[in-house]
Structure 1
């Protein structure tokens, strides 16, 4: 990381600290107070030695000890305030960063998640922010305290004895040199370590998510070996980082205590010859130890702060990632437009597959209030049409329109509020039935949710669940069958009450009895709405007003079921295969 880039990253981190100036001010006051008390203890040590030990006065010794105890109490109080405020700031700032990053992720275009793995994103959002919280709330506080006390102790060293102070100062560059030298290596290894930890989390998450597939193919041992390789890679990087930090600390300790030994030899000689008092030497040793401990702490914390820079950089990459799908400066009102859709000379390539066109010179009009079905072999581009209608992507050529208005002239959120999608693999959340259905309209009452469930023919099986509508469905609805998940998703769409329906083979996961019930619910739902259906089973779309036959990203035929049987060889072949099987 270049010096400019590093400063830019730290500046962005400071932006999150600015709203809490009062807390920072309180922490700094407490820090300066405790630093002042700490330095004053050195003078207390001088009093104990000169007025107590050497003078042989018990009364003066008692007074000096009382002064030390009072200073210790004051330092304890100041430390409490400083530690509380800085720890609070660490938690608060980390929470703000985590929220800001998540908010930006929710706004990003879907192609971003094709290129960036979800496991790595989650690692940044959790592991990196946790590391940042620890560093801001602990290491950063230690660094500030060490800087202030070290500078103050250096000043007191010169006040106490200039000659000995020069010996200490001469050793400072020798301590800083290895800190700077090793710090660069630690910073690079810290970033690499965070990336390797993200890889471990990604691999584990994927294996656990697909555990049924892993176990059905008896690949448990293979997955364990592969995970072990990921863990070993992360450990190897971490070991290198740790060895660099350990070496840095060892070098600093040797240099610091070498300087202290030289200082003690010269100071002891001066006490013996009467040049300085024992109390002055005691105070000087106390301040020298503060300098030594401060330098040692800074060398240790420096590595932690380098990790903070690496973690902050990874988080800022997410925070400042820009969405390719953005609203116009003055969007048109989608609610005032007809609910007809059209794709005009559209050519589209997915960002992850730029060499292959998913749709090419594709044109289609979807009339308002009618049912349009998309059929064709796998890879024909049917799902891509849905992606473009929801404006998850923009085409490279041509236009996708609501009425005659290009979707790029509408606000994406307002456009999607007109639409409900029921996917082939319905997405459910780790929540209860009520919350999953209400996701279609968060302000809906319990009665409206139940009415939607009845319309989707889901009410009967929901009431048989252990807690009815309050039953938890587990991760991604794992406690339901495929048909039950589909009916929950359809109830969500019914509750949403959209003008446009996108159904991706919405009855594919149902048994014959459930399919019949769902068809009745869907017939009621589709009435008067613009509906687009992706159909693999032609028996489900015989009633469609328009059937569009697609192949290799193009429209090859349009019409009703009867006319297509006569005019389209592809449709006739698909129909012959399916109805022969039936």
Structure 2
């Protein structure tokens, strides 16, 4: 449901109220600075009436000293106001950025399947930066202008009632275009933020897949596609800027037309002796203060509208509920052993609701045993891994750890019992030590080295320019496929889990490394519950049991020799896939 810009911005209050002391101090500085600014008008009145017109050097000197004193106080107040409000802007934007990130990493994977990472990153960075600018600058200007507007208007009424009528007539005339154009600016601001996200998302994807782009010589087409995104963003920004420029132009023309009319009337009153020159000077000063306050507010309205769009996008992220719900009274995963089972499990991916990834699957993974999953592409092998880690919950049926439905366990507690080594390992843009220690952040250097040796990774790590402190680049790009795989295996060895999930963890290794790592994995697997997505004959033969999946169903389960005799599908897979791979 659409929310007004003000209701969205109101939600920022819960972040601001965390810093009540700073907020109060900033408010006091704002009021002080506004009050001192308004006092300048009295200095001008004294300067004209008692200095210039009266011809008194003494009064002139006093008036000038008064004005200088006011200026010093204004400078002090402005310093405090700027520092405190800017600090609040930076602090609150950092808190919102942290809150959004903390929430994002708890969301279920299907959210990231349906939403582009570039757009999410745009919200996390660009939108929070925009909020920082508004809270730390524009909001300060708006509040100061509002205070000076009220104070200036009050002093106008005290100084001259008749001339104030011109100001009061002008204010509603100025406010009408502010309201009308402000709505248009907000809509365009939201579109502008979305198109900027499109630009970032497209660029990020192309840079990430640069080898594919260059291999297929698609540089020219990608330049053209990116130019289209950039021009689209520019066009929307141009419309937004045009609306803001029109707003500012209309407001300025109305304000200064009103001031000109006021000066004409006031000048006549001074000539006719109705008011003094000092009173007119002070009145003009207050009128300019009021007019500039309205002009500033009109300009800031555009920033506030942009901030409303940014806040709306951020609070949309914060309001997303994870499909994986936390149990109200969680049980301890460590109390349930390591036997896992699927009981009548049916599951559809949210992005493919008409196609069952698992269909009434019944599968038991015995404690301390190894189970190999085989089957054609799309059989459901990877989905078994996804549900075992509770990245998704089944549509029907239950997945259990011991005798406990894993829905009754905290996902973090469940996953702490597991270690995963994927066929395409994920490494972070950090050094080797960080990537291995990711499995156990508090591990000592000696434990990391021992895990690396067990994974046959220590020797090549030592040959890197800075050893275990060597930076691996984005996604470990500085390592070969086999080296990345061994770092991932070392990470799993270091975690020392109860349950292992191996997606053919040795598939990227050469024959010699595979043999040595296979030995390490066999030692690691001993006494642990292990599930393996198998592609190689050696892996299958070493498994305690083999489950053959097809179309999300368990077709047959048994040993290698038993399945060769009893399963046509397994025999065909063995001949076409496993035997071929074992020879290669």
The question of 1:372 aligning with 2:371 is answered yes
Instruction: Tell me, yes or no, if structure 1 residue 234 matches structure 2 residue 233.
Output: yes
DSSP 3-state at the match of 1:501:
strand
Q: Secondary structure at the match of 1:59?
A: helix
Q: What is the aligned partner in structure 2 of residue 532 from structure 1?
A: 531
Alignment-derived partner of residue 566 in structure 2: 567
- CA drift of 1:216 comes to 0.9
Residue aligning to 2:282: 283
**Cα separation, partners in 2 of 1:472 and 1:155, compared to 1, 3 Å:** same
Displacement of 1:326 in angstroms is 2.2
Q: Is the 1:342–1:363 contact (alpha carbons within 8 Å) kept by the matching residues of 2?
A: yes
Residues 6 and 308 in structure 2, CA contact (< 8 A), matched pair in contact too: no
1:19 corresponds to 2:15: no
Shift of 1:7: 4.0
Tell me, yes or no, if structure 1 residue 552 matches structure 2 residue 551.
yes
In structure 2, the residue matched to 1:220 is 219
Shift of 1:59: 2.1
Structure 2 counterpart SS, 1:188: helix
Map of 1:395 onto structure 2? 394
Query: Which residue number corresponds to residue 244 of structure 2?
Result: 245
**TM-score (norm. length: structure 1):** 0.98
Residue 79 (structure 1) aligned with residue 78 (structure 2): yes
Unaligned runs of 5+ in 1: none
- Offset at residue 20 of structure 1 (A): 0.9
Give the Cα separation in 2 of the matches to 1:5 and 1:291.
Answer: 27
SS at match of 2:371: strand
TM-score by length of 2: 0.98
- 1:263-311 deviations in Å (ceiling 9; x for gaps): 0110111111111111111111111111111111000000100111111
3-state secondary structure, aligned to 1:107: coil
Q: Residue 229 of structure 1 aligns to a residue in which SS?
A: helix
Match of 1:174 in 2: 173
**Quick check: 1:49–1:279 contact (8 Å CA) kept in 2?**
yes
Counterpart Cα distance in 2 of 1:178 and 1:580: 75
Question: Take 1:96 and 1:251, find their aligned partners in 2: how far apart are those partners?
Answer: 38
**Structure 1 residue 5, shift from structure 2 partner:** 4.4
Query: How far apart are the structure 2 equivalents of 1:36 and 1:11?
Result: 27
Q: In structure 2, what is the Cα distance between the partners aligned to 1:369 and 1:397?
A: 27
Partner in structure 1 of residue 492 of structure 2: 493
Structure 2 distance, partners of 1:98, 1:576, is 53
Instruction: Give the Cα–Cα distance (whole angstroms) in 2 for the partners of residues 148 and 478 of structure 1.
Output: 57
Gaps of 5+ in 2: none
Q: Aligned residue for 1:297?
A: 296
Residue in structure 1 matched with residue 109 of structure 2 by the alignment: 110
Is the aligned partner of 1:162 residue 2:161?
yes
Q: Say if 1:473 and 1:480, in contact at 8 Å, map to a contact too.
A: yes
Residues 149-190 of structure 1 deviation map (CA, whole Å, 9 limit, x = unaligned): 011111111111110000111000000000001111111111
Q: What corresponds to 1:428 in structure 2?
A: 427
Q: 1:502 to 1:260 in 2, by over 3 A?
A: same
In structure 2, how many angstroms separate the alpha carbons of the residues matched to 1:44 and 1:485?
74
Between the aligned partners of 1:78 and 1:535, the Cα distance in structure 2 is: 71
Q: Secondary structure at the match of 2:321?
A: coil
Match in the other structure for 2:471: 472
Displacement of 1:252 = 0.3
**Residue 442 (structure 1) aligns with:** 441
Q: Distance in 1 between matches of 2:134 and 2:187?
A: 17
Q: Distance in 2 between matches of 1:580 and 1:231?
A: 49
Contact 2:379 2:549 in 1 (8 A): yes
Helix, strand or coil: the match of 2:441? Answer: coil
- Counterpart CA distance in 1 for 2:9 and 2:238 is 26
Describe how 1:179-198 pairs up with structure 2 within 5 A: 179-198=178-197
2:209 corresponding residue in structure 1:
210
Structure 2 CA distance for aligned equivalents of residues 230 and 539 of structure 1 = 50
- Contact 2:421/2:502 (8 A) holds in 1: yes
Rounded to whole Å, the distance in 2 between the matches of 1:444 and 1:462 is 18
Is residue 375–residue 536 contact of structure 1 (8 Å, CA) maintained in 2?
yes
Cα distance in 1, alignment partners of residues 576 and 22 from structure 2: 73
Q: Report the alpha carbon displacement of residue 505 of structure 1 after superposing the two structures with TM.
A: 1.2
Task: Count matched residues.
Answer: 581
Take 1:246 and 1:311, find their aligned partners in 2: how far apart are those partners?
Answer: 21
SS at match of 2:364: strand
Please identify, of 86-95 and 56-65, the stretch whose mean Cα deviation from structure 2 is larger.
56-65
Equivalent residue for 2:47? Answer: 48
Give 1:319's aligned residue: 318
Do the aligned residues in 1 keep the contact of 2:131 with 2:307 (CA within 8 Å)? yes
- What SS does the corresponding residue of 2:344 show, helix, strand or coil? strand
Q: Deviations over 1:341-362 (max 9, x none)?
A: 1111111000011011011111
What secondary structure sits across from 1:268 in the alignment? helix
What is the CA-CA distance between 1:580 and the residue it aligns to? 5.0
Q: Is the 8 A contact 1:376 1:536 kept in 2?
A: no
Of 111-120 and 242-251, more deviation after overlay is shown by 111-120
1:25 Cα offset (Å): 0.9
